């Protein structure tokens, strides 16, 4: 079928409300920036054809759809009132639904000015699109080049993640040079690199399976020159592609069916199902195999679901066994067994999360804290954070483990800093900025990491940690846990550190802490940590001015009135007032 707009398949499709000037400005900027990065981008005003069919083709054939969510209110157009909100524009909703039906990733983006409206936007989405709330939204700032570039980098990273999940439609790949879906699935499995050798050794890939694979197909799948060279070197000479006459689509399907039956008969179906992405691959093979038979959609779906369930059951059993091992090891204080289980299951987010939870539960004990640190537990946690950076549960539990591991343990503070743990925590805060629990535990980890540790204070300050903490306070201003740990983190970061004091002032940290005191006036811990921050930063003239102008003194006086029997509040408040008043 000819494409409406070339090339027909797109890296990114940009969906936005054409009636909202802010949305069109962002759309133009995103288009230009992503094109500069060499991506194929669909944007209506840049296309030759812009009708409904063209929009549907673009949305369905994109790896990722960027949804620019804005709400510019009601405007007057030709004497009519027009609602500009993204989730109330018919074509915006159609584009989202087209994308979902095709399995494309959907990435919402917003203006930096709308960061506090994410919840409002999600609430306005139709029920079938409210799952956009499960994705970390990206905020963009056209007024700051550095901020904008960071946002573009995140979008490119999200695209790369989407590419790993999304497979080309089976019918398109199967029709290329008569190649059946079995060969495509095997070729893609080899494209994963680290599985190639194992597949050959296990006999999953044979000369017969690869006889249809030629250079054009390898290019179509996306092999790099190095990957192509490796593939050709591994492929037996008997598997070299031969010239063949054009075949009709039905003969291709029959040949694909025959090859799959042979493949299953050799007993390799089970082996392939144990490899990553088995469910997707089984789906591709099943769809292609049944395409030439007179079967109902229900039968086809039942077959696909059966294969999926088998693969999922095997994976679930493996995960359950590993988690059980961790639980038993935790009960025996067997740190070594937990670490070994993490190493054997590095790709399993559920196992990594459970292991981090075990470390959190064990480390209130000082001996366990030391043992976990010395035996490599910290490095294992950092590795889990890096491998599963988009898994909020892993990030939350890892940060929680760091909180306990660094409690009164200078060696673990240093180990985490040296192992890249600080960078991992800050990455978690950026990737999961709308996840309150991740922000709470991440701020708590930064708080403990900087307690009487100048090296970590410097590392965090230079890595943008102060800005990340202040951003968390602004996004989650009503969350007491975030505010308490954030105030504590800023207080420790500012202790005897002139550069960090200046950073806190420039980042808006003083104003954020004043706001926290007002919103959580009945939370004694927030009040204490806030007063410590004001005491520490008052030696910086700019911070002191900001505190006074921002209403810190009335807020501190209110804390004293609201907590008359709390000695810690009274002491810290008195010290802070003395410093600010001097």
Q: Give the domain CATH number at 130.
A: 3.40.50.10140
Q: Are residues 179 and 158 in the same domain?
A: no
Does some domain include residue 366?
A: no
Q: Are residues 437 and 561 in the same domain?
A: yes
The stretch 28-36 carries a mean pLDDT of 92
Q: Are residues 461 and 567 in the same domain?
A: yes
> What does the alpha-carbon distance between residue 139 and residue 144 come to, in Å, rounded to a whole number?
12
pLDDT in tens, 462-490: 999 999 999 999 999 999 999 999 999 99
Predicted local confidence at residue 224, as pLDDT: 56
Predicted local confidence at residue 226, as pLDDT: 59
Q: Are residues 211 and 268 in the same domain?
A: yes
pLDDT in tens, 358-407: 999 889 888 999 999 999 999 999 999 999 999 999 999 999 999 999 99
Q: Are residues 488 and 561 in the same domain?
A: yes
Q: Given 140, 165, 190, which residue is the final one in a domain?
A: 165
Predicted local confidence at residue 232, as pLDDT: 58
Q: Are residues 123 and 202 in the same domain?
A: no
Does some domain include residue 378?
A: no
Q: Are residues 449 and 559 in the same domain?
A: yes
Structure tokens at 206: 């044979």
Q: Given 111, 143, 165, which residue is the final one in a domain?
A: 165
> What does the alpha-carbon distance between residue 377 and residue 363 come to, in Å, rounded to a whole number?
11
> What does the alpha-carbon distance between residue 471 and residue 325 come to, in Å, rounded to a whole number?
39
Structure tokens at 51: 């009708």
> What does the alpha-carbon distance between residue 247 and residue 175 come to, in Å, rounded to a whole number?
10
> What does the alpha-carbon distance between residue 534 and residue 514 come to, in Å, rounded to a whole number?
9
Q: Are the beta carbons of 202 and 271 closer than 8 angstroms?
A: yes
Does some domain include residue 87?
A: yes
CA atoms within 13 A on the CB side of 176: 19
Alpha helices in 349-453 (DSSP H): 349-362, 366-374, 377-387, 392-405, 410-418, 421-431, 436-449
Q: Give the domain CATH number at 490.
A: 1.25.10.10
Q: Are residues 277 and 395 in the same domain?
A: no
- Spell out the residues 6+ positions from residue 355 whose beta carbon is closer than 8 angstroms to its own: 326, 338, 339, 341, 342, 380, 384
Q: What length does the chain have? A: 582
pLDDT in tens, 536-548: 999 999 999 999 9
The stretch 109-126 carries a mean pLDDT of 89
2 band by pLDDT with thresholds 50, 70 and 90? confident
The stretch 560-577 carries a mean pLDDT of 95
Structure tokens at 524: 């004694």
Angle between helical axes of 297-331 and 278-290 (0-180°, round to 10): 170
- The domain total for the chain is 3
> What does the alpha-carbon distance between residue 194 and residue 297 come to, in Å, rounded to a whole number?
36
Does some domain include residue 361?
A: no
Answer left, alpha or beta for residue 385, where phi above 0 means left and psi between -120 and 50 means alpha: alpha
Look up the domain containing 246 and give its range: 174-294
313 band by pLDDT with thresholds 50, 70 and 90? low
% of the chain beyond a pLDDT of 90: 53
User: Phi/psi at 108 (nearest 5 deg)?
Assistant: -75, 140
Minimum mean pLDDT range among 75-79, 121-125, 408-412: 75-79
Q: Are the beta carbons of 377 and 363 closer than 8 angstroms?
A: no
> What does the alpha-carbon distance between residue 409 and residue 378 come to, in Å, rounded to a whole number?
13
Q: Is 381 helix (H, G, I), strand (E, B) or coil?
A: helix
Q: Given 294, 310, 332, which residue is the final one in a domain?
A: 294
* Mean pLDDT score of the chain: 79
Does some domain include residue 106?
A: yes
Buried b (16+ CB within 10 A) or exposed e, 26-46: bbbebbebbeeeebbbbbbee
Does some domain include residue 327?
A: no
> Which of the residue ranges 20-24, 183-187, 297-301, 401-405 has the most confident prediction, judged by mean pLDDT?
401-405
Q: Are residues 69 and 120 in the same domain?
A: yes
Cα Rg, the chain, nearest whole Å: 28
Q: Are residues 279 and 403 in the same domain?
A: no
Q: Are residues 155 and 287 in the same domain?
A: no
Does some domain include residue 489?
A: yes
Q: Are residues 487 and 551 in the same domain?
A: yes
């Amino acid at each position: 079928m000819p494409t409406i707009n070339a090339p027909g398949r797109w890296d990114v499709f940009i969906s936005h409300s054409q009636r909202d000037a802010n949305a069109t400005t962002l759309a133009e900027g995103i288009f230009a920036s992503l094109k500069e990065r060499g991506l194929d981008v669909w944007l209506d005003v840049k296309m030759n054809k812009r009708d409904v069919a063209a929009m549907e083709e673009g949305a369905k054939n994109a790896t990722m759809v960027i949804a620019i969510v804005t709400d510019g209110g009601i405007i007057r157009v030709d004497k009519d009132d027009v609602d500009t909100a993204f989730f109330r524009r018919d074509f915006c909703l159609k584009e989202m639904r087209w994308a979902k039906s095709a399995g494309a990733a959907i990435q919402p983006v917003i203006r930096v000015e709308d960061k506090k409206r994410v919840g409002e936007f999600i609430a306005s989405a139709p029920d079938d699109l409210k799952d956009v709330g499960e994705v970390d939204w990206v905020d963009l700032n056209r007024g700051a080049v550095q901020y904008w570039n960071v946002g573009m980098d995140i979008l490119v990273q999200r695209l790369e993640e989407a590419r790993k999940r999304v497979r080309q439609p089976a019918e398109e790949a199967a029709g290329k040079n008569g190649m059946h879906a079995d060969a495509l699935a095997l070729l893609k499995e080899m494209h994963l690199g680290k599985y190639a050798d194992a597949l050959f050794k296990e006999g999953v890939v044979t000369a017969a399976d690869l006889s249809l694979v030629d250079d054009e197909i390898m290019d179509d799948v996306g092999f790099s020159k190095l990957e192509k060279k490796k593939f050709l070197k591994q492929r037996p000479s008997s598997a070299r592609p031969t010239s063949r006459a054009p075949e009709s689509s039905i003969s291709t399907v029959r040949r694909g069916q025959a090859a799959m039956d042979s493949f299953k008969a050799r007993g390799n179906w089970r082996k392939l199902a144990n490899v990553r992405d088995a469910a997707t691959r089984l789906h591709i093979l099943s769809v292609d195999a049944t395409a030439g038979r007179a079967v109902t959609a229900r039968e086809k779906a039942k077959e696909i679901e059966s294969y999926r369930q088998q693969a999922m059951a095997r994976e679930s059993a493996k995960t359950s066994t590993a988690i059980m091992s961790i639980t038993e090891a935790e009960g025996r204080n067997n740190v070594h067994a937990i670490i070994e289980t993490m190493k054997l299951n590095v790709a399993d987010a559920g196992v990594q999360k459970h292991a981090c939870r075990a470390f959190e539960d064990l480390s209130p004990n000082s001996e366990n804290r030391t043992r976990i640190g010395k035996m490599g537990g910290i490095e294992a946690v950092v590795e889990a954070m890096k491998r599963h950076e988009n898994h909020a549960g892993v990030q939350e539990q890892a940060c929680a483990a760091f909180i306990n591991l660094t409690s009164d343990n200078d060696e673990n503070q240093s180990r985490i800093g040296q192992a890249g743990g600080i960078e991992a925590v800050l990455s978690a805060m950026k990737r999961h900025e709308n996840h309150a629990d991740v922000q709470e535990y991440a701020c708590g980890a930064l708080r403990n990491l900087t307690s009487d540790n100048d090296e970590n204070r410097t590392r965090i300050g230079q890595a943008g940690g102060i800005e990340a903490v202040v951003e968390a306070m602004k996004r989650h201003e009503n969350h007491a846990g975030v505010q308490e740990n954030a105030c504590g983190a800023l207080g420790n970061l500012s202790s005897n550190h002139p550069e960090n004091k200046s950073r806190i002032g420039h980042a808006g940290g003083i104003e954020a802490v004043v706001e926290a005191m007002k919103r959580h006036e009945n939370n004694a811990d927030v009040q204490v940590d806030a007063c410590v921050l004001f005491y520490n930063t008052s030696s910086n003239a700019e911070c002191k001015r900001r505190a006074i102008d921002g209403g810190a003194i009335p807020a501190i006086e209110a804390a004293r009135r609201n907590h008359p029997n709390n000695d810690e509040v009274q002491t810290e408040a008195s010290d802070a007032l003395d410093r600010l008043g001097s």
